[in-house]
Structure 1
Amino acid sequence: MIDAYEEDVIEQDILEPIEDIGKVSIIIPFYNTKDYIEECLHSVLEQTYENLEIIIVNDGSAEEDTAFLEQILPEDSRIVYVESEKHKGVASARNIGLNVSTGRFLYFLDSDDVITKNAIELLTKYIKDNQLIVGTTKRLNKPLDLMNITLRNKSKVLVIKKLFMVFKNRSVLNMLIRRDVFNDTESCSFYEGTNCFTDISLLVKLISKIEKISVIKQPIYYKRRRNDPITNPSVMQLSNEIKTKDFITIYEYLHEIYRNNEKVIRYLDLLFLNFYRKNIVLLFKDIEKVDQFFENIAIAAKRLSRRALSNQPLHIRLEMKQLRNENIKKYKKSIKTHLEIRSLRQGLKSLKKFKIYCYRKFFIKMPFKENYIVFESFLGKNYSDSPRDIYEYMVDNNLDYKYVWIFNDKHKKIPGPAKVVKRFSFKYYYYLGVSRYWVSNSRIPMHIDKRKENIYLQTWHGTPLKRLVFDMKEIYSANPNYKKNFYIQSRRWDYLIAPNKYSSEIFKSAFLFEKNMLETGYPRNDILYRDNQPKKINDIKAKIGIPLDKKVILYAPTWRDDDFYAAGKYKFNLKLDLQKMKEKLGEDYVIALRMHYFIADEIKTDGVEDFAFNLSKYDEIAELYLISDILITDYSSVFFDYANLKRPILFFAYDLEKYRDKLRGFYINIEEDVPGPVVKTSNDVINSILNIEDVQHQFKEKYDDFYARFCSWHDGNSTEKVVKQVFLESN
């Protein structure tokens, strides 16, 4: 139970005069956060409480970031800008800010976070006679429109006496602290010996001096979750190895200084035990890390008080005893048992987790099947794309391999000798665990660990128009861990296929890919050279049910990152007026709708069924390229493949500015470089189709240049080149 009580709160109208109880010094360290500082600074300058001193400490940022910061700093007498010559870390920057501050109150804010415009007003209103007040912090997973936050100048306020409950998160952010809590003769500085956990050095000073804390139960501080912990991590997104080293260092340092302060020692010991269970135990999944960290952790464990250990589970007390006795041999056995039991408990929580447990515990330790290949296309949705071409080539050439295809539907029928396995079944995990080769055009799930002996061929599925992964600044998708997850999953790729030189260079930067790039062209495009003949085209039309006497318009748009129901579940609002298209074009054309696999279930064709064919779940889009006379797309990469046919392409980019400037950004200038007109309305689309010969003539020279740049690697033999390099020459 939290030892707390609620104070009576009187509603204060936001239009009433705000009581000025003294200057508040807001200290903002800045280090290479130009993508966020403008939003942060705006949230501070807009505060309803105006008696502020805004101290921005540039902690040795790069020239580009420094120039940006200095450019956006407004002419405001409340701003104090301090620049450090060298990067020394957040603790140093805060100490510099403390040294120049003159406010009666102190408030710390990170440069990638934001506060509501009445944040300081509420804190000053409710601090009353207390030395410290804390606001509620909310996680910010995506860009925030502060104007849409409902502001209330009335809130529940808790007064908490068990300070450990508030300080458990080890952060000084969103705290309004009276400067006079510290004596004139003593320092309130941050420890500069580590990168991480430096806040603890100030928190222990506060614990030693105060008896209670007021807490405002209203979100006023929005803590950004950085979406790129790989190339631009926040301090707390650094590796577990770094965090463990830093935590032990600061724990040792503060434990020695406060060795006679029972209250602080108890807090430090509770932090250590909590960190041990959440971080150190997981670090030791790699048993070799025990040798690296054992000595320092053992020294720290010897400082633990009996009181701190008394409430711990038996296995933690045993591990602490072995650490304190410096018995590394017994400790390794205990930690392995600890992790085994933790893994089993996790595995017993659900059937899916039990399958994952079996995969990690048993399947990846079984004898290897050297000639087994697992194929998957678009997360098991269909039998298509480059994996299909590679499989069919190997079967047709009687190569000595066993084949497994992964599908969501276990009853899926495909040609050849492949074994069909349902995705996420026990067999799925078994074959991924024992097969030497994996072939996929999308990412295999995070929880699938890869054996060192595995060879993973990532075929990918397009030439990039939209910026990808690490070439994107912000992520607007439903998954805030997108970049981190992508990085982990892509480290497993041994081979990656590039369709052209342009893509090869982008894949290296966007995916941070450093292994084997196969500059062969996509196997899936071989069909565009091999089967581009009337009989093949008519056979496909007949199979689908499209009239042979009608020309075909293929509409293949992409998905929108910011339009979703939940993580992995995207929406799509069809902007093409199918009814009007039927009226104007229906005598000569039909339209085939092929949506991105994320949005395949979102399209309805009620009322135009004889004109519009929803082929979003048709297995092979290359066959739809072959039967179509015109392609309409937007920002999908399909037009790079379709250009191999040298047929007309229209770009229906009704939300171009939003998609280009906010959601993704492009690698090429879509208004200048694409081989067809960019249009924004259904009428424009219809008029372009009615005058398609003029369009072709107008864009002929641009189309020829485009073909030379993006299609020249394709000659109908890409599949053969890939198979030879991965499956024949690598053996």
Structure 2
Amino acid sequence: MTKRSKVVYHSFEGRYTDSPRAVYESLLARGDDLEHVWLSAPAHAHGFPPGIVTVPYGGEECVAALESADVVVSNTHIDLDWHKPAGSTYVQTWHGTPLKTIHWDVLFAPEGRLARLDQDIARWDALLSPNTASTGPLRGAFRFAGPVHETGYPRNDVLNAPDREERRAKIRAALGIAEGTTAVLYTPTWRDDDVFGDGPDFSLHLDLEAFAERLGQDHVLLLRLHYMVSGALGTVDVPGVLDVSFHPDIADLYLAADAMVTDYSSTMFDFAVTGRPILYFPYDLEHYRSKLRGFYFDYEAIAPGPVLRSSEEVVDAVADLDAVAARHRDRYARFRETFCHLEDGHATERVLDLFFPQAAARG
């Protein structure tokens, strides 16, 4: 009997989310005869569907799964000691259009970290790019000499799906967002000097109490921290604020939200697929740009929404989203032309055609 090919999926050190999820669900829906295994972290086990095969991220079972895989689909580095078998394929989807510099282009990194992660990059057989503007920065930062495929991100196909409005209604109901309530998704990124320094993992600079007091009952703030600092704030107990940092898939939150507030997070490029307003709160812009991380693109020049420097300005802008959208309509259109030109709802199909062609032909 012919052995079934084995596909191992890894997303953000053990979550059921992002482009690996989109690839997995499409293969499952297509009925390909494959063995599927997910790497799972205990803190995020609740996000995996019943019956899915998982192994704990980081342990012996995890290494064994990786070393027996025919295909590995991952959205970030697999920072583990494992040997990729000959003949297997490791597809690195990555997880965002890079505004901020990454890997060897960063201004700050702990000693030895980048060289250690290079061991994983050496295993990659292919890298996905979400758009033409990202291809050069991704290849250069990782010093990756293999193929970089401009496919768009499979994770964003749901944002163009025919049933996206039905999904939006279902997700909002599940989150307890009442009809007529304006949901604002806040996605601050992590800071290298917090995570790798001596201070706290993360500190929040948006005044949550002021948001709730000013905007009242008809607004809700969906707080989504970066996966590297998901639990850094502990319990958030502010009326009108939902901490959704452990919600399984951020694509659900993109669908549920009416607007986004962010700083330097790549979530801005994904959310732009929805066409809804994006506001910027870069409270530490000069430090982040010149000393901490640096950018590939001119931040203020490309921003498709207002760049705000205080909580008060953010709340004022959220209170008048129609005016924000009108003032930035042309900038928003240019932003989408540059960074969303491949987000047509068919990125997953392109990825399957590239890496599962025999299965595609049978389907």
| TM-score category, normalised to shorter length | over 0.9
2:79 to 445, 450, 459: 445
Q: Which moved more, 1:643-652 or 1:684-693?
A: 684-693
Could you tell me how far 1:602 is from its partner in structure 2? 1.4
Could you tell me how far 1:396 is from its partner in structure 2? 0.4
CA distance in 1, matches of 2:192, 2:220: 29
CA distance in 2, matches of 1:533, 1:730: 27
Which secondary structure state, in structure 2, belongs to the residue aligned with residue 587 of structure 1? helix
1:213-238 CA distance string (max 9 Å, x none):
xxxxxxxxxxxxxxxxxxxxxxxxxx
**Following superposition of structure 1 onto structure 2, how do residues 59-74 of structure 1 map, counting pairs within 5 Å?**
none
CA distance in 2, matches of 1:531, 1:619: 22
Equivalent position of 1:241 in the other structure: none
Equivalent position of 1:631 in the other structure: 260
| Conserved? CA contact 2:4–2:33, under 8 Å | no
Could you tell me how far 1:664 is from its partner in structure 2? 0.8
Identity across matched positions, percent: 37
Could you tell me how far 1:370 is from its partner in structure 2? 5.7
Higher relative contact order (CA 8 A, sep 6+): 2
Q: Which amino acid counterpart does residue 317 of structure 2 have in structure 1?
A: S
Which secondary structure state, in structure 1, belongs to the residue aligned with residue 177 of structure 2? coil
Residue 404 of structure 1 pairs with residue 37 of structure 2 = yes
| Conserved? CA contact 1:369–1:436, under 8 Å | no
CA distance change for structure 1 residues 519 and 467 in 2, over 3 Å: closer, same or farther?
Answer: same
**Following superposition of structure 1 onto structure 2, how do residues 214-613 of structure 1 map, counting pairs within 5 Å?**
371-380=5-14, 382-409=15-42, 412=46, 414-415=48-49, 418-472=52-106, 474-475=107-108, 477=109, 479-530=110-161, 533-564=164-195, 571-604=201-234, 606-608=236-238, 610-613=239-242
Could you tell me how far 1:531 is from its partner in structure 2? 5.4
Could you tell me how far 1:603 is from its partner in structure 2? 2.3
CA distance in 2, matches of 1:446, 1:429: 8
Could you tell me how far 1:729 is from its partner in structure 2? 5.5
CA distance change for structure 1 residues 682 and 566 in 2, over 3 Å: closer, same or farther?
Answer: closer
Equivalent position of 1:703 in the other structure: 332
| Conserved? CA contact 1:446–1:488, under 8 Å | no
Equivalent position of 1:712 in the other structure: 341
CA distance in 2, matches of 1:730, 1:445: 30
CA distance change for structure 1 residues 461 and 606 in 2, over 3 Å: closer, same or farther?
Answer: closer
Could you tell me how far 1:446 is from its partner in structure 2? 4.1
Which secondary structure state, in structure 2, belongs to the residue aligned with residue 497 of structure 1? strand
1:618 to 231, 247, 264: 247
CA distance change for structure 1 residues 634 and 369 in 2, over 3 Å: closer, same or farther?
Answer: farther
Could you tell me how far 1:600 is from its partner in structure 2? 0.6
1:14-63 CA distance string (max 9 Å, x none):
xxxxxxxxxxxxxxxxxxxxxxxxxxxxxxxxxxxxxxxxxxxxxxxxxx
CA distance in 2, matches of 1:419, 1:689: 42
CA distance change for structure 1 residues 433 and 634 in 2, over 3 Å: closer, same or farther?
Answer: same
Could you tell me how far 1:433 is from its partner in structure 2? 1.6
TM-score where L is the length of structure 1: 0.47
CA distance in 1, matches of 2:335, 2:128: 20
| Conserved? CA contact 1:446–1:485, under 8 Å | no
Could you tell me how far 1:438 is from its partner in structure 2? 0.8
| Conserved? CA contact 1:551–1:588, under 8 Å | yes
Could you tell me how far 1:414 is from its partner in structure 2? 3.1
- Gapped runs of 5+ residues in structure 2? none
CA distance in 2, matches of 1:720, 1:664: 34
| Conserved? CA contact 1:375–1:406, under 8 Å | yes
Q: Which amino acid counterpart does residue 274 of structure 2 have in structure 1?
A: L
Q: Which amino acid counterpart does residue 399 of structure 1 have in structure 2?
A: D
The number of equivalent residue pairs is 358
Which secondary structure state, in structure 1, belongs to the residue aligned with residue 9 of structure 2? strand
Q: Which amino acid counterpart does residue 342 of structure 2 have in structure 1?
A: W
Could you tell me how far 1:570 is from its partner in structure 2? 6.5
CA distance in 2, matches of 1:577, 1:532: 35
Equivalent position of 1:124 in the other structure: none
CA distance in 2, matches of 1:633, 1:411: 27
TM-score where L is the length of structure 2: 0.93
Q: Which amino acid counterpart does residue 695 of structure 1 have in structure 2?
A: V
Could you tell me how far 1:565 is from its partner in structure 2? 6.3
| Conserved? CA contact 2:224–2:244, under 8 Å | yes
Residue 685 of structure 1 pairs with residue 291 of structure 2 = no
CA distance change for structure 1 residues 411 and 526 in 2, over 3 Å: closer, same or farther?
Answer: closer
| Conserved? CA contact 1:603–1:614, under 8 Å | no
CA RMSD of aligned residues (A): 2.2
CA distance change for structure 1 residues 540 and 411 in 2, over 3 Å: closer, same or farther?
Answer: closer
Could you tell me how far 1:488 is from its partner in structure 2? 2.1
CA distance in 1, matches of 2:69, 2:4: 7
1:681-720 CA distance string (max 9 Å, x none):
1001011112222211111111111100110111101111
Which secondary structure state, in structure 2, belongs to the residue aligned with residue 639 of structure 1? helix
Could you tell me how far 1:405 is from its partner in structure 2? 0.8
- Gapped runs of 5+ residues in structure 1? 1-367
CA distance change for structure 1 residues 465 and 585 in 2, over 3 Å: closer, same or farther?
Answer: same
CA distance in 2, matches of 1:503, 1:665: 15
CA distance in 2, matches of 1:370, 1:675: 47
